[in-house]
Chains A and B, each alone.
Chain A
Amino acid sequence: MVNMYKKRKVVKGVPISLGIVMGRTRVILPGDIKVAEVAIAASSLDNEIQRLDKAVAITIEELRQTRDSAGKKIGGPVAKIFDAQLLIAGDYEFLKQVKEQIIAEKRNAGFIYNSLVKKTTSPLKKSDDAYMRQMVQDIEAVANKVLSHLGGYHQRPEVKFPADTILVGRSFTPGEVLSYRRRKVTGFLIGEGGRNSHMALIARSLLIPMVASERVWTRVPNNCRIIIDGTNGIAIINPADKDWVEYQRRRRHQGPATISRIKKLTQIPPLTADGMEINVAANLELPGPVDDILSWKNIPVGLYRTEFLYLEKDDFPDEKSQYEYYRGIAERFSKSEVVLRTFDLGSDKFRKNDDIIKEDNPALGWRGIRSMLEMTEVFKTQIRAILRASVHKNLKIMLPMISDITELEKAKKLIHQAMLDLRRENVPFDNQIRIGIMVEVPSAALTAELLAQKVDFMSIGTNDLTQYTMSTDRNNIRVANLYNSYHPSVLQLIKMTVEACMKYNKPVSVCGEMAGDKLALPLFIGMGVKNLSMNPAKITDICRLIKKIDSNLVYHLAVSVLSSHTAVSVTRKLQSFMTALEKK
């Protein structure tokens, strides 16, 4: 009989932070913070109060230190995640209530503190609002620390782990992710937590692989071998030898290893075999160690997502903090350029307190430029901050989810109004700043000629373009196989966009996942695309392949591929080309 704990099992989950790691599991069971109830003699109550004060003071000091070290390791905006916890820890009114109850009931500080925390969080836990739930996690994280300093309770052990430990648990606080990483944890398998939770943001900015799968801590044995693939959202428990070999091979092409290999690139931008320059750029979503490597090598950023600024606080930051953030980016990439995409947030990210906002279909609803054109103050604040940061003349503005020329015109009008305001206020900015659009909605691709005349550049978002064109939600397991960026219809829309840009002499780039897909590379070069912006982990491989490609030869490949009838036929042609190319 096979021991069920030794059996190979594949867990399919959600990718939270990319990269591959291999190691052994350590399961941490989620537990309620249990604190013993102890009666305290009247003469000892003062001492109890003092212990509480001390525990809170130490907690606040620890949080400040964590915030400062996160600031150094990752960058200012991410460090602000800890500000929420500092605000909670420093809530002296709450502590006053705790102290009053300690005296009134003659009970130990830990017990009273814990019960009042539970009283505060239980109504919030019922909320279907992501911001409220994040608040609960922050309150519990702080409470955990205070209780640990008071002593005599049940908490997560602060131990050093063996090398290559993969932590398995329900979820972890950002502080825990930071500190576990210091203690040799190399990957995480968690039971809950969205891609935009604070925990996820920290994991991604530290390049630590993370996969989420419901109640995974009940399905994974402790101290067993495991492979985590954070890029595809897979975990393999008790992998077979063939798995180890396969993933060791894959690991060389994914995650942190590939990003440090960027340092070894010699030719930027890379040239094709026949000497044509292909502009390879990176897609980024938050500041981190990757930024420094890219800017050092003068690799530009073809898509810098800005939603993180909203998500770290569940709120739009003010102009000053946005300006500091964008200025930091502009200065870091002073020798190349950065395309900043304005906020692309949908109803699923905002508080659901408004009937208009509750949507059945957020992907097809109020998001991207649509939401910004209604939240004009938020949009203008972001534009003002970007403009102020544009004095180095290396920033570009990109508008997401444009589906219609009137949206573009309204947005440009708001941008020009912001420019007039700044001019009147004598604030300098780049008055030649380039304004472009994401082409991710089929209507934009189909009317690309109209749009091309009114923009400075276009960037094709192949992920969403594929979803909308094939009418398929790639996260819907039942239809996910229909999602295929190599479908002739998607290729035609890409072609239309590229041709429209060429006709009106506007730069066109591809910034979806397809841009980093080596199979698509000869097709794009053959179509005349000279700008590709991709996941940084793909940059070294793509640069290596570009050098082998002759742009004249792939023109014919592109013509042949674009006349194919099926996605299968497209991929077959591209696959055989790539196989031959890799042999060179």
Chain B
Amino acid sequence: MMKKTATIVNKLGLHARPAALLVSTASGYESEVFFTKEDLRVNGKSIMGVMMLAAEKGTQLVLEVEGPDEEQAMEALLNVIASSFGEDV
């Protein structure tokens, strides 16, 4: 099981497009993925779940990844978040 924290850096936060990107990235891996914002923990492969996070710029998101490809999955997720989903910071 891997657990890391990442900060949402893009100006407009985790709105429609980045949320969909995050979910499709997570869904590409076998491992289970969970995101936690404060005390709300959601399944990272569920668009409905990630929507509920309503994560704004500056949010500290805790990523939990567990499974056979957890290293690749964690790296991919951290990258997509760090690259601000290709948007302005």
Contact = CB atoms under 8 A, between A and B. Distances in A.
B52 A120 contact: yes
B17 A315 contact: yes
Interface string B3-39: 0000000011101110010010000000000000000
Given A124-B52, A124-B54, A315-B15, A91 B47 contact: yes
Main secondary structure of the interface of A (DSSP, over half): helix
Contacts of B87: 316, 377-378
B88 A93 contact: no
A353 B12 contact: yes
Nearest to A132: B54
Interface string B40-78: 000101111101101011000000000000000000000
Nearest to B57: A353
A510 interface: no
B51 A313 contact: no
Contact of B88 (A94, A124, A378): A378
B70 to A, nearest CB: 17
Nearest to A142: B48
A88 B86 CA distance: 23
Contacts of B20: 87
A88 B47 contact: yes
A93 B49 CA distance: 9
A375 B12 CA distance: 11
B11 to A, nearest CB: 7
Interface residues of B, number: 22
B48 A84 contact: no
Given A353-B56, A353-B57, A135 B51 contact: yes
A186 B23 CA distance: 39
A347 to B, nearest CB: 12
B40 to A, nearest CB: 9
A31 interface: no
A446 B88 CA distance: 34
Contacts of A314: 15-16
A315 B52 CA distance: 18
B54 A91 contact: no
Given A124-B54, A378-B88, A350 B47 contact: no
Nearest to B85: A315
A534 B45 CA distance: 47
A166 B43 CA distance: 43
A139 interface: yes
Contacts of B17: 313, 315
B48 A139 contact: yes
Looking at A123, A131, A313, A353, which has the most chain B CB atoms within 10 Å of its CB? A353
A378 B84 CA distance: 13
A274 interface: no
A129 to B, nearest CB: 8
B14 to A, nearest CB: 10
B52 A354 contact: no
Contacts of A94: 46-49
Contacts, number: 67
A313 B16 contact: yes
A93 B52 contact: no
Nearest to A127: B54
Contacts of B48: 88, 91, 93-94, 120, 139
Contacts of B54: 123-124, 127, 132
A135 B12 contact: no
A9 interface: no
Contacts of A135: 16, 51
A106 interface: no
B51 A354 contact: no
A350 B43 CA distance: 27
Nearest to B33: A93
A353 B12 CA distance: 7
A353 B86 contact: no
B12 A350 contact: yes
Nearest to B17: A315
Nearest to A316: B87
Contact of A318 (B11, B49, B86): B86
A307 to B, nearest CB: 16
Looking at B46, B47, B48, B87, which has the most chain A CB atoms within 10 Å of its CB? B48
A351 B86 contact: no
Contacts of A88: 47-48
A354 B16 contact: no
Given A124-B54, A350-B12, A375 B49 contact: no
A511 to B, nearest CB: 29
A124 B88 CA distance: 24
B22 to A, nearest CB: 12
A132 B12 CA distance: 13
B13 A87 contact: no
Given A120-B52, A124-B51, A316-B87, A93 B46 contact: yes
Given A120-B51, A120-B52, A124-B52, A84 B12 contact: no
Interface string A32-76: 000000000000000000000000000000000000000000000
A316 B18 CA distance: 11
Given A87-B20, A93-B45, A93-B49, A375 B88 contact: yes
23 contacts: A87-B20, A93-B43, A93-B48, A93-B49, A120-B48, A123-B52, A124-B52, A124-B54, A131-B15, A132-B54, A313-B16, A314-B15, A315-B16, A351-B12, A351-B13, A351-B15, A351-B56, A353-B13, A353-B56, A353-B57, A354-B11, A354-B57, A378-B88
The 7 closest A-B pairs by CB, nearest first: A93-B46, A353-B56, A315-B17, A94-B48, A93-B43, A93-B45, A351-B12
Interface of A: 84, 87-88, 91-94, 97, 120, 123-124, 127, 131-132, 135, 139, 313-316, 318, 350-351, 353-354, 375-378
Given A93-B46, A94-B48, 9 more contacts: A88-B47, A93-B48, A93-B49, A94-B46, A124-B52, A135-B16, A313-B16, A315-B15, A377-B87
